[in-house]
Structures are given as structure tokens and as C-alpha cells.
Structure 1
């Protein structure tokens, strides 16, 4: 399927979608301000109609969904029996269908697993990629387009991050959280509306931001994502994902025992950190680049970006025992660069941890 945004002047498009339209740093600023829209070809839609859809998804996932009201957004994780993250999806229901928005690389696997778990229940999931696309932006920005309304409810998912949703738990010790002012939503639109948006952008009537800008804002907000931050060992606790994707008091689901045990009795074996990277940002670490304490590799970079205010930044998963004040370095193609660590998940993360809140100063504020 040809990308309709390829015709927009300045557009750089690859297999993942629209990367940028000439200036990713300016696009970040415009996107955060609500002046630009972000086509999300890296995201895709699974529709789950049927009378049993919410109770069924509730029984399979980490999230409490049985009483999810139409138009209210949440997110779920599908875990393996040991509590490791297998799939992740944003969820919005319209009263007739539950609509899942997932990273495109995860959609086929998530869909296949859902189909296998139907049994005799009244659900009929389908990949809706031919019918619908995803457009991101602030809530105000999305008011300039027309979300799909197959049952009369606009299909707009408001990202709850970093609020602590009912049944959730927060680990990050900073106050305010760097994502506190983040305003992010994703609209499910028909393919016809997607083409209309592309045509309007080509005429200069709408501003666009690419995936480079979208990712930079996500990384700055410490927001985990399946494509980049999840591997076969990932536990939700390690990524501070209990905030929005896990309900600790709901009924049984696969992986629940590990979720409860790690939260109530132990600590996750790894922890997410945010890194302020030294240097000009001309060369960012690649996904999977080693994070080192001296010569010892203590973790890997999961996401990296050049932010319009904070400069080169990254998210990384490191060993729980890595000292919070350690001087770290990160491998890049130009050699190691210094990486100042900010604690996202503390070493003693868990229900009994008494972590004092720490006022966060960005690198930009600290330099003033």
C-alpha cells in the first residue's frame, strides 16, 4: 500500500511511514504545541466486535476492561505465564467493538494469539488495516480531522501516561514526572480521511510531523513502547508500566502471579533509566547499544532521540544493582559517550519501597 503522505513537499518516507518533512526538531515543537498532526503508519488497528469482547479481553490481559465505558482510553498487556510482556495495545471501545491500536510489528502476533483464544465466546477479532489508519497528535490537533465513528462514538484514544490509572502503581521517584504535561492522543480514521489529510498537507493547509519527532517526544516522557523497549525478558515493573497498563486488583489472568510476586515481595531484576547523552547528538546510539559502567556492560539502550530542548537523550534497561549515581557510558559508532543517569525505576521498586520524590531538573533548566 503506497503511503499517501509521500506526496507532501519535503516528506521523507520509508517502510515504517513518514519519518519527517524536513526539520524533525521544528516538527517536535509544533507537534507538542498542537499545531501538527503525526501520521502513524507504524501503528495498526485490530477490531474486536462481539458481546463478550470486554470480559474476554479482561480475562486475557493485565487490564480491567469489563466496565470500560465507550470513548474512554486505556491500554493492556498480554503476558506469558512468567509475567513477561508478549504484546501491548491501546484500547478504546465504542459500545459495540473494542478497538486495539498496536505497534505494527506486533499486530500479526497479537491477532493470531487472540484468534486462538476465542473458544466459544462471542468475539470475532480482525485486522482492520485495509479500513483504517492511525493519526496522532494533541487532543486539540485531532479536532481538525474526522475520526471514524462506526457506532457513533469517535474513535480517539487518549494516552493516560503518566497518570496512575485505577489499580496501577507508580515507581518513578521524580516530581514532576517529565511526561506530566504530555498531551497525546491517537485517532482511528478511515483510509479516505487519511487521504484527505495527506491532500490537505500537500496543499499546505495542515502541518505534519514525522515519526522522528513523535519518538523524541515519547522518549522525553519516559513512555515505554512495545517495538523498542520490550524484549523477551521484559517485565512491566522494569519499565514503570504498572502505571497505565496493569490493574493490580483485578481477577486472574496469565502472568498475574509473577506480577503480584515481584511487586509485593521482590524487585524487578532490571530497571529503566533515562539517559542524558553527552555530545552534539550527531551520532545517537543504536537500539541495543551497550550501556557500560567502566568496562562492564550493565544494560542496553532501548530508545534514543535528539530532543528539541534536551538534546540527545535515551531510554535504557540496566541491571537493578547498577548504582543510581554511577557514571555510565554508551557505545556509539563514534565510540563511547558519557551518559548521565536519571532514575525511572528505582532499585528497590516494589509495593513496600519508600522512595522520596525528587524534584526533576532538565539539563536545560540545570544549565540556566
Structure 2
């Protein structure tokens, strides 16, 4: 691998272990896509006709549980877990013109284990949304998953005499649907090898930023390419319709798109081009209406985007998704802080590149200086 970069692979049915040398030597390419709600990966190996990999993965294919895979990138002595997930698909592509076959393993993070079995109809009497999430995540402690459940600002405890919440679909589907209802997100975090955190909580766009992305700064440039976009036509103003108690009248309430956990990163925001009335609030309690309103307010449009690629060794760090990063050298309109919405990792022998997608609410930075 590159000087200063080392890739570690671990695989196993339940508890992954470091792979043998024959697997490491056959590695062709590893790609990892980290989004806001899930992480996918794909690892390909050169497969000779007499390769031991054919026997190795044939044996693991007979295990009833999916194969677990962990990819760890170590840059300058600092390990970063790229993905800890399950292999859901194995494919072999025969080679041509004397080239060997390629074995490709594809999968997702450990949240895929929550999507294997349906529990539709399971009751949750007198349980808040947070309690439902905690009960669901408790069964995955065997995989080393630690739940991190952030309570909603307005807890809603349903009376069993009035209604009993029911489970809908798989555990993953229910977790994401409940998160969408209250304006939260659900995804897996891997802060350390074999340590996984199931985060169910608000979308956080706060915290210390990562090293800045520099463009058009001569020797200080650390990105291969960076392109910006600004869309000002599709911004909407959501309006919640609230029924006045003991009447048949409805009162429109405009929803602000600013919260303490999602502060604006741009000063100049596009004006809404249309008003959208949020439906589906009939028969809801005031607490449910408040949660539904916060969820719609959290889904504001990110009008400013940036897409680019970088070389990890030149950048000097591994860019992480779901956090802030600074941009310098792009001019007054596009400099400043952005939220890293998606990051793709591509690792080959002698090459480690990343492509990324950045978003924020408008133009012109809200901070005067971006630290390097």
C-alpha cells in the first residue's frame, strides 16, 4: 500500500478475525460508500484457478449467518474504521485474454442485520418512540452494537386504552420510519475496530470541522477537483395545518427551517418559490403534531452543493462523512463550512482516493475564517 497508509481486513461469520496472507495478496480493489443513513462496500480479489480463495469462500458460504467484514485504514499510525458490515452478495467474473477471474464481495454496514426478519404487528403498549427504539436495538447486542438513542423534545406516551403502537416491517424499516416521523436519522457509527454504535437521534451539523479542503491555492491545494452548484428554484416553505380544539377550523402555521442542532452555514439563502401545506395531521395529538412539524422543518433544502475528489496522502487525513469541513480558495460565495453528506473511498495498491459531496443552506460563509 501507499507510504503511510495501511489497509487491514478482518472477516468471519460472527466475530471477524484478520484474514490470512493469501487473501491480502489477492486484493484488487476496495470501495466504501458512506452516506447519511447507511454505508455500503465492495471488495474485489484476483482469483486464480487454483487459488485458495475459492475453497475459503466456499466454506464460509455454507455458514447460515452472513459473512462479517471489517475494513480499517491506518494513516500515519491512526486507524480509521471504514466499514464494519455484512457480506450480502458474492460474484465471480471470469477473466479474459489470460487475465484471472475476479471475486467481488458486496455488502452493507451492520444495520443490514436488522433487515433480515419482519416483526410486523408486534405491539408496543404505553411505549414512547424512544422506548421502542431501545427495545429493538437491545436484541443486537450479540453483534457488539451499542445503542445511542436521543430522546425527542416532546415525549409522547400513548395510553393503551386509546391506541397501541405496532411494529411495521423489519426492525430497520421501523427504526427509519420512526426517525423520519420525528425528524431524526438512524445510522451506524464505528468509532473503533469491532465497536459499533447505533445512532438514533437528530441530524447534527455542529462540532469541530475537519482539515480544510483547499482549491486553487497553488502549493496549498489538496483536492484533485472541486465543483460547486447553487439551486434556488426548488426551495419550499412548509406550512403545517393545525386543527383548533373543539372546532372544525384549521390554522396554518409556517415552519422555520432553523434549529439549534442544524444551524445555517450560509448567510445568503434563496427565498422560497412556493408554499407547501403539510398534510396528514388529522386526528393527531398536539404532541404528535409538534413532532411532525419539527420533522418537516428539519427537511429543509440544501441549496449549495460541492462535489470533488482528493488524494488521501496529499490531503493528509481521511475525510469523514456526517461532519463539517471547511473550504478555502473558492471565492467569497462558496468558501466556508459545509456538511459532508457523502464520502466514497477507493483503495488500490499504491492509490487511495476519495470522492465527496458537500451541502449547506446558502451562499457566503457564516464564519470569517476557515482553519486549515
Specify which structure has the higher proportion of helix.
Answer: 1
If asked which structure has higher relative contact order (CA below 8 Å, sep 6+), I would say: 1
Specify which structure has the higher proportion of strand.
Answer: 2
Larger radius of gyration: 2
TM-score band, normalised by the shorter chain? under 0.3
TM-score (norm 2): 0.26
